Amino acid sequence: MYKSLQACRGLAALMVVFYHARGAISQPKYFGESVLGNAFIFGGSAGVDFFFVLSGFIIFWIHAKDIGQPKRLGSYLAKRAIRIYPTYWTIFAVVCCAALAVPALRQTVPGDPWTLLKALLLVPMDPATPGVTATGAPVLTVAWSLQFEVMFYLFVALAIIAPRACLLVAALWVVNFFTCRTVCSFPLGFFADYRILLFALGGATAWLCRRTVASGAAATLPAAVARGGWRVGPWTDRLSLMLGVSILVAAATLHTLGLMDAGVVRQESLISLYGLASALIIFGVVKAEDRGAVHGAHAGWQVLGAASYALYLLHYPLISVVMKLMMVLGLRGLGGALFALAVAVSVSVAAAVLFHLHVERPMLRTLGAWRWPALRAAGSPRV
């Protein structure tokens, strides 16, 4: 894992935390500070869109050589399952138990075993289903994005065992995308989501990184890249980073000004801008690190990046608990909202880091070495 990407991953997760924390303090039942809340309104889309692009990048970077190699399917599925399910199941179980212990929250846990099973497997669900939240993910609301990730993993699995069938599925998806994106309900509407394109953008970014060799790159670069890649100078990664950050700031500004809600800027346009910014930033930091310039090498950013998956899953219920506690303490007004925001973010980060260090990392290392000795690397932070 590139250290720069690890740091970016931590920053993206932190943006999502700020987004949900600002949403909480904006609610009338808590502080009703909508002006303060709007300052972080861009974080959710910017952070999640980055993860979609990064996921496409990582999968192509690691598994492009597996396409058309059916014998590698088992290894691929094992790695993907170990990375996504154990941590999710652990946090899901904890939140479920906590919700069942509070009478007012018991309705948030699906009573239907079939719905619960689909939630555990991250199978896409219709938001209109009883017991399912508006995002289509019960219990852990933020798990909607993981449903897309699992579908992407299965698409790549098909490419590994049957590339031609994969092309057929891709063609059918294109037809569905252009015919059902705005008019179809679940499940066709789910598979016509605009963010699915971000996986492809991440894959294209990985391909470009493979095909380019940064001047002064370390000798540890893959031999295939060193032999056939296009050599680029240090100005390339700097320009890519500058463009990426500039586009990110521009998109965040448009988002914060409420132009999407006003209908001036379409949601798809913002997703495209966030996706393009993410791709440029990923390319920039990867090429910079290839020539020895690491962004975010500080241990704090590395730990935050390693704990980003836990942070993504834990923060939403923790923010809710913190906000309720702030109400019990009698905090009000702008000062109270700022304090609650700081506490919610701090508690979320601290809990995620502790969970990663003492639960997630040991668990994944054990699972990676227990049955598949060759998959010891699966115990490393999720990508």
**What is the 8-class DSSP label of residue 136?**
S
Q: How far apart are the C-alpha atoms of 150 and 122, rounded to whole Å?
A: 7
Structure confidence at residue 373 (pLDDT): 52
Residue 169 has pLDDT above 60, yes or no: yes
Pair 257, 233: CB distance under 8 Å: no
Q: How far apart are the C-alpha atoms of 339 and 342, rounded to whole Å?
A: 5
Q: How far apart are the C-alpha atoms of 329 and 340, rounded to whole Å?
A: 11
Tell me whether residue 370 is exposed, middle or buried, using C-beta atoms within 10 angstroms of its C-beta: 0 to 12, 13 to 18, 19 or more.
Answer: exposed
- pLDDT tier at 369 (50, 70, 90 boundaries)? confident
Question: What is the CA angle 322-108-186, rounded to 5?
Answer: 120
Q: How do the domains of the chain map onto residue ranges?
A: 3-379
What mean pLDDT is reported for the chain? 89
SS3 of 69-97: the string is CHHHHHHHHHHHHHHHHHHHHHHHHHHHH
Residue range 295-319, pLDDT digits in tens: 999 999 999 999 999 999 999 999 9
Listed residue (163, 156, 136, 187) closest to 56, CA to CA: 156
Residues 6+ apart with CB under 8 A from 257: none
| Structure tokens, 244 | 């990426």
Structure confidence at residue 224 (pLDDT): 44
Residue range 42-51, pLDDT digits in tens: 889 999 999 9
Distances (CA, A) of 263 to 13, 255, 256, 260, 312: 27, 11, 13, 5, 29
Question: What is the CA angle 284-288-291, rounded to 5?
Answer: 150
CA atoms within 13 A on the CB side of 175: 6
- pLDDT tier at 165 (50, 70, 90 boundaries)? very high
Residue 97 has pLDDT above 90, yes or no: yes
- pLDDT tier at 348 (50, 70, 90 boundaries)? very high
